[in-house]
């Protein structure tokens, strides 16, 4: 897994649907692995493949015109189950950024914990992104974590991310590294509260 994120400039894959839930991102029957790798293969399994395993032509991931490191989804992306496998699958399939106007909470945390950057944009900007990709599949989207901006066709918008998470992503730290470093404080807390 590539740690640390800063600038990502890439074409994008548009998935213009609202309420994309984690059961679609990775159906439960593919959750039986005991490692984190290899989930990309089954990303959007039932939308992407027929039951006999042949690709569904009309699904965007099977359209060679669309590729890149950025996945753009509709409102309420990642709702449903807490399965981190959804974030693993997206990351494993080669994406570093997911853009939506609204993310489900747990998905957002899971994404951040896996160095997959969730970028929340306004409804209006999301519409612009979809329109830009529709017009030209080669349209480049620029995401700058340091500056907290996302741009397409020369227009850009600021996005929110909390400072702590931003520092983690920019430097490739994770929460566990931090929490282990304050173990003494945690033990003191336990003593005071027992």
What character string, x for contact with another protein (CB under 8 A) and - otherwise, covers 74-93? xxx--xxxxxxx-x------
> Is 40 a binder of another protein (CB under 8 A)?
no
Answer for which of 16, 62, 151, 153 binds another protein (CB under 8 A) is 16
Q: Which stretch binds another protein (CB under 8 A): 64-72, 90-98, 131-139, 183-191?
A: 183-191
The single residue listed with the structure tokens 């042949």 is 54
Contact by Cβ (8 Å): 84, 106: no
Q: How far is the CB of 52 from another protein (least distance, A)?
A: 12
Contact by Cβ (8 Å): 12, 66: yes
> Is 29 a binder of another protein (CB under 8 A)?
yes
Contact by Cβ (8 Å): 44, 24: yes
Across the beta sheet with 149-152, the strand order is 7-10, 141-144, 149-152, 155-158
Q: How far apart are CA 132 and CA 149, in angstroms?
A: 17
Give CA angle at 60 (57, 66), nearest 5°: 115
Q: How far is the CB of 100 from another protein (least distance, A)?
A: 11
What character string, x for contact with another protein (CB under 8 A) and - otherwise, covers 94-133? --------x-xxx--xx--xx-------------------
Tell me the three state secondary structure of residue 119: strand
> Is 33 a binder of another protein (CB under 8 A)?
yes
Q: Which stretch binds another protein (CB under 8 A): 6-14, 132-140, 141-149, 173-181?
A: 173-181
Answer for which of 124, 163, 191, 194 binds another protein (CB under 8 A) is 163
Measured CA distances, 78 to 42, 70, 73, 87, 95 (Å): 16, 15, 9, 9, 15
Residues interacting with another protein, by CB under 8 A?
16-19, 21, 23-24, 27-29, 31-36, 46, 51, 74-76, 79-85, 87, 102, 104-106, 109-110, 113-114, 162-165, 174-176, 178-180, 182-183, 185-186, 189-190, 193
């Amino acid at each position: 897994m590539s740690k640390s994120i800063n600038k990502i400039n890439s074409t994008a894959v548009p998935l213009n649907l609202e309420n994309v839930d984690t059961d679609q991102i990775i159906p439960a029957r593919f959750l039986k692995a005991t490692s984190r790798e290899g989930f990309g293969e089954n990303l959007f399994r039932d939308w992407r493949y027929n039951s006999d395993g042949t690709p569904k032509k009309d699904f965007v991931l099977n359209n060679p015109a669309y590729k890149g490191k950025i996945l753009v989804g509709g409102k309420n992306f990642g709702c449903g189950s807490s399965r981190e496998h959804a974030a693993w699958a997206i990351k494993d399939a080669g994406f570093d950024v997911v853009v939506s106007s609204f993310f489900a909470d747990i998905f957002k945390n899971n994404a951040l914990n896996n160095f997959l950057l969730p970028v929340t944009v306004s409804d209006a900007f999301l519409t612009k992104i979809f329109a830009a990709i529709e017009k030209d599949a080669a349209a480049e989207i620029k995401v700058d974590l340091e500056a907290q901006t996302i741009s397409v066709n020369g227009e850009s918008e600021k996005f929110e991310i909390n400072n702590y998470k931003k520092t983690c992503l920019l430097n490739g730290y994770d929460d566990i590294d931090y929490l282990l470093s304050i173990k003494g404080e945690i033990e003191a807390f336990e003593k005071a509260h027992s």
